[in-house]
Amino acid sequence: MDFALETKGLTKTYKRGRIQALKALDLQVPKGCAFGLLGPNGAGKSTLVKTLLGIVRATSGSATLLGVDYRKVDSRRSVGYLPEGHRFPSYLTGRTLCDYFGKLSGLRGDELKRQIDEKLEWVGMKEWADTKVSKYSKGMAQRVGLAQAMLGNPQLLLLDEPTDGVDPVGRMELRQVIKRQREKGVTVFFNSHLLSEVEQVCDRVAIMHHGAILHQGTVKELIQNITGGQGTLHVRFAVSRVDEALAQKLGTIAPWGQVDGGFMMTLTGAQGITPVVDLLREQKIEIFAIEPQHANLEEAFIQLIGRQANKSVGGTH
How many angstroms separate the Cα of 241 from the Cα of each of 33, 133, 249, 263, 278? 52, 59, 14, 9, 18
pLDDT value at position 294?
Answer: 67
The answer to whether 13 touches 56, Cβ cutoff 8 Å, is no
Measure the CA–CA gap between 289 and 220, rounded to whole angstroms: 27
pLDDT value at position 229?
Answer: 59
Hey, what CATH topology would domain 3-218 get? Rossmann fold (3.40.50)
Beta bridge partner(s), residue 62? 8
pLDDT value at position 134?
Answer: 95
Q: Which residues of the chain have pLDDT under 50?
A: 316-317
Question: What DSSP character marks residue 92?
Answer: S
The answer to whether 154 touches 186, Cβ cutoff 8 Å, is yes
Measure the CA–CA gap between 18 and 24, rounded to whole angstroms: 15
Please state the domain extents for the chain.
3-218, 232-293
pLDDT value at position 149?
Answer: 96
Q: What is the pTM of this model?
A: 0.79
Strands (E) across the chain are located at: 3-14, 19-30, 34-38, 60-65, 68-69, 79-82, 156-160, 187-191, 204-209, 212-218, 232-238, 256-259, 262-268, 286-293
pLDDT value at position 186?
Answer: 97
Q: Which of 263, 259, 260 is nearest to 280 (CA)?
A: 263
pLDDT value at position 317?
Answer: 43
Question: Please, which contacts does 297-303 make with residues 24 or more away whose CB atoms are closer than 8 Å?
Answer: 297/38, 297/195, 297/196, 297/198, 297/199, 297/205, 297/219, 297/222, 297/223, 298/195, 298/196, 298/199, 299/223, 299/227, 300/222, 300/223, 300/226, 300/227, 301/38, 301/195, 301/207, 303/226, 303/227
Do 232-293 and 3-218 have the same topology in CATH?
Answer: no
Q: Which CATH number applies to 232-293: 3.30.200, 2.40.128, 1.10.3470, 3.30.70?
A: 3.30.70
pLDDT value at position 274?
Answer: 85
